């Protein structure tokens, strides 16, 4: 490699490398370092300890981690069940109104995350639209309290917020499938369901894996929606982490929790990406 080539490569890679170093590597290194320190009288002491990680295995935090994983998996599963037919219809069954329908899928993303969360509070509250409708038709005589401040409310809102992130990458994969594959399946006597199970579904697995990741990752770290819609009955780990940094001044414990969340996400990401790997790729 000549000096000129080396200089050009350095000039090309330096800006993104500096950006990654300042805004990713440095913050991550700080979090890792903080997770091994401790707080004494509201002062962070640079004293190496595993106490923060030992606290994570206490029943209280384990229960919160387990609830967070369950809610995140449920949100991802429901988003897949809802989003796959939508993505399939957009990619394979419509052409005339495709752009319009895609805009409708993206449209909720133009609204603030916080506004959409507050909207669900108005819908699911004891004086909200759902309870008023149920009482109006005589299905209930009094408001249903568990619709709000519960895992149900958190799950429903997170599905509404994140399902577009599953639809879009899945649509992108389905839309690029070669039509000749479906014609070949039809010539070989494959019906709609057999063609879907043996051709469409396997070939769409990369999009499924990517979309599920796009839903699972923010669901694991969500704290605004659980705070507003879950209350004290549906506390997720994201809320606990936010409290450690914003209220309790327990930066070391909050850092350990954040790293534990990242570890769980990494394991799920590896599993999903392996499951979504195209056939024949090792």
**pLDDT tens per residue across span 169-186:** 999 999 988 888 877 877
In a domain, 14, yes or no: no
Contact in structure between 215 and 166 (CB atoms under 8 Å): yes
Q: What is the pLDDT of residues 116-150, one digit of tens each?
A: 999 998 899 888 888 888 888 888 888 888 888 88
Report the CATH number at residue 174.
1.10.3720.10
- In the three-class reduction of DSSP (H, G, I as helix; E, B as strand; rest coil), residue 182 is classed as helix
Query: What pLDDT is recorded for position 262?
Result: 94
Here the tokens at position 209 are 């894996």
Mean pLDDT for the chain? 88
Alpha helices (runs of H) in the chain, residue ranges in sequence order: 3-20, 26-34, 51-56, 59-88, 98-106, 113-124, 129-136, 151-175, 179-187, 192-195, 201-221, 224-225, 237-246, 251-275
In a domain, 40, yes or no: no
In a domain, 33, yes or no: no
Query: What pLDDT is recorded for position 280?
Result: 46
In a domain, 43, yes or no: no
Q: What is the pLDDT of residues 246-262, one digit of tens each?
A: 888 899 999 999 999 99
Categorize the per-residue pLDDT at 282 as very low, low, confident or very high, splitting at 50, 70 and 90: very low
φ, ψ dihedrals at 38, nearest 5°: -140, 165
In a domain, 32, yes or no: no
Number of domains in the chain: 1
Euclidean distance between CA atoms 135 and 118, whole angstroms = 22
In a domain, 251, yes or no: yes
Here the tokens at position 13 are 């890679």
In a domain, 227, yes or no: yes
- In the three-class reduction of DSSP (H, G, I as helix; E, B as strand; rest coil), residue 45 is classed as strand
Domain that holds residue 210: 59-275
Euclidean distance between CA atoms 218 and 249, whole angstroms = 24
Mean pLDDT of 71-79: 96
In a domain, 13, yes or no: no
Q: What burial letters (b/e) apply to 196-222, b meaning 16+ CB within 10 Å? A: beebbeebbbbbbbbbbbbbbbbbbbb
- Please give the model's pTM, rounded to 2 decimal places: 0.89
Euclidean distance between CA atoms 192 and 221, whole angstroms = 39
- In the three-class reduction of DSSP (H, G, I as helix; E, B as strand; rest coil), residue 37 is classed as coil
């Amino acid at each position: 490699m000549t000096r000129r080539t080396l200089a050009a490569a350095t000039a090309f890679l330096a800006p993104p490398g500096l950006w990654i170093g300042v805004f990713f590597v440095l913050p991550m290194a700080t979090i890792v370092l903080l997770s091994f320190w401790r707080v004494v009288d509201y002062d962070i002491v640079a004293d190496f300890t595993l106490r923060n990680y030992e606290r994570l295995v206490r029943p209280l935090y384990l229960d919160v981690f387990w609830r967070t994983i369950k809610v995140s998996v449920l949100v991802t599963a429901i988003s897949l069940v809802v989003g796959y037919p939508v993505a399939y219809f957009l990619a394979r069954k419509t052409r005339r109104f495709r752009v319009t329908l895609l805009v409708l899928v993206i449209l909720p993303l133009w609204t603030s995350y916080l506004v959409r969360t507050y909207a669900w509070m108005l819908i699911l509250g004891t004086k909200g639209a759902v309870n008023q409708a149920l009482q109006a038709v005589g299905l209930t005589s009094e408001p249903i309290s568990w619709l709000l401040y519960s895992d149900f409310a958190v799950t429903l809102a997170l599905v509404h917020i994140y399902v577009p992130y599953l639809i879009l990458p899945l649509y992108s994969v389905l839309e690029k499938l070669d039509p000749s594959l479906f014609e070949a399946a039809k010539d070989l006597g494959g019906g709609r369901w057999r063609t879907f199970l043996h051709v469409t579904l396997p070939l769409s697995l990369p999009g499924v894996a990517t979309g599920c990741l796009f839903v699972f990752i923010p669901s694991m770290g969500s704290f605004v929606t659980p705070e507003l819609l879950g209350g004290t009955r549906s506390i997720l780990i994201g809320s606990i982490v936010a409290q450690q940094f914003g209220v309790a001044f327990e930066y070391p414990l909050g850092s350990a929790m954040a790293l534990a969340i990242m570890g769980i996400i990494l394991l799920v990401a590896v599993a999903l990406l392996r499951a979504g790997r195209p056939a024949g790729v090792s």
